[in-house]
């Protein structure tokens, strides 16, 4: 019996040992799709940046329609990468898809802008605090030089130069903060702000004094004071925007009330015969 069992076992073929793929085999199996994806992603990024620039420079203004067919012709690409870029901008709330009408640049209200400044206050306060721990004396002087002798005229080319300087100053502190997640969040917020805001929330002569206060705190490498000065700077702008939004909404309510009264003949000289 024992010998028979042994002969039976000898006839059963042994399973071949499991062969696991080598690391080289795994990498090679993904090589071609990965290269293709990188090229495609690069194209999408370039188109995204191009459309983003059209929006930020107001060549397509707030409320304006995105001319998808024209963009495909002028960029020499199919609709797919254009649509991919627009989806990305939609996630950033810069464009809106309107059924049966098309794609439009988002038209933010003054109240929307005030809420964005509320977010800026928190994020840029953090950026200023981190920048204070990393900034060099030479970098502080470079930033001070941006504002030294700057024309504070609140209109025309001088105002545009001040706006450009202001944006460079704020973004440089985000870069000095050395936090890629913070930088990504600020890019999205800034895109929405720049889409709406044509000028400044307050005149240059007022805001430049607050920039000096931020720079003084940075020069001392005082993180807490830098954050406080930045948050106060943006809070004051947000308060001005909220006040402006309140006034706009009050005018709108008065206008709607007047229109209703006119329709009902409740105003002098408007009664129906």
Taking the C-alpha atoms of residue 9 and residue 233, their distance in angstroms, rounded to an integer, is 86
C-alpha to C-alpha distances, 101 to 45, 67, 98, 109, nearest whole angstrom: 26, 11, 5, 21
All domains in the chain, ordered by first residue: 39-107 (1.10.10.10), 110-258 (1.20.120.530)
Over residues 8-19, mean pLDDT: 53
- Strand ranges in 77-227 using DSSP code E only, listed in sequence order: 95-98, 102-105
Name every residue whose Cβ is closer than 8 Å to that of residue 63 and which is 6 or more positions away in sequence.
Answer: 104, 105, 107
End-to-end CA distance of the chain: 121
pTM of the entire predicted model:
0.74
C-alpha to C-alpha distances, 30 to 20, 41, 44, nearest whole angstrom: 17, 16, 21
Maximal CA-CA distance, the chain: 122
- The per-residue pLDDT for range 199-215, each reduced to its tens digit, is 788 999 999 999 999 99
- For residue 119, report the phi and psi dihedrals to the nearest 5 degrees: -70, -40
* Nearest partner of 119 among 215, 173, 190, 197, judged by Cα: 190
C-alpha to C-alpha distances, 137 to 142, 165, 213, 215, 263, nearest whole angstrom: 9, 20, 16, 11, 67
Taking the C-alpha atoms of residue 104 and residue 123, their distance in angstroms, rounded to an integer, is 28
- The per-residue pLDDT for range 210-256, each reduced to its tens digit, is 999 999 999 999 999 999 999 999 999 999 999 999 999 999 888 78
pLDDT band at 42 (very low <50, low <70, confident <90, very high): confident
């Amino acid at each position: 019996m024992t010998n028979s069992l042994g002969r039976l076992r000898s006839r059963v073929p042994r399973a071949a040992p499991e062969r696991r793929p080598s690391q080289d085999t795994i990498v090679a199996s993904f090589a071609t799709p990965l290269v293709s994806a990188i090229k495609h992603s690069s194209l999408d990024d370039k188109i995204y940046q191009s459309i983003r620039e059209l929006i930020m420079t107001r060549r397509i203004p707030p409320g304006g329609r995105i001319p998808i067919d024209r963009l495909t012709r002028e960029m020499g690409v199919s609709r797919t990468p254009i649509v991919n870029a627009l989806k990305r901008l939609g996630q950033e709330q810069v464009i809106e898809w309107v059924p049966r009408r098309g794609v439009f640049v988002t038209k933010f209200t003054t109240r929307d802008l005030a809420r964005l400044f509320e977010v800026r206050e928190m994020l840029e306060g953090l950026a200023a605090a981190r920048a204070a721990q990393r900034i060099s004396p030479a970098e502080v002087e470079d930033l001070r030089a941006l504002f030294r002798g700057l024309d504070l005229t609140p209109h025309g080319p001088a105002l545009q130069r001040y706006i450009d300087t202001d944006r460079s100053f704020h973004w440089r502190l985000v870069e000095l903060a050395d936090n890629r997640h913070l930088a990504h969040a600020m890019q999205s917020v800034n895109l929405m702000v720049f889409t709406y805001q044509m000028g400044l929330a307050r005149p240059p002569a007022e805001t430049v004094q607050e920039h000096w206060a931020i720079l003084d705190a940075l020069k001392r490498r005082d993180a807490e004071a830098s954050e406080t000065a930045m948050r106060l700077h943006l809070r004051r702008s947000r308060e001005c925007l909220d006040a402006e939004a309140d006034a706009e909404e009050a005018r709108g309510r008065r206008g709607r009330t007047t229109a209703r009264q006119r329709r009902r003949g409740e105003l002098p000289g408007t009664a129906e015969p």
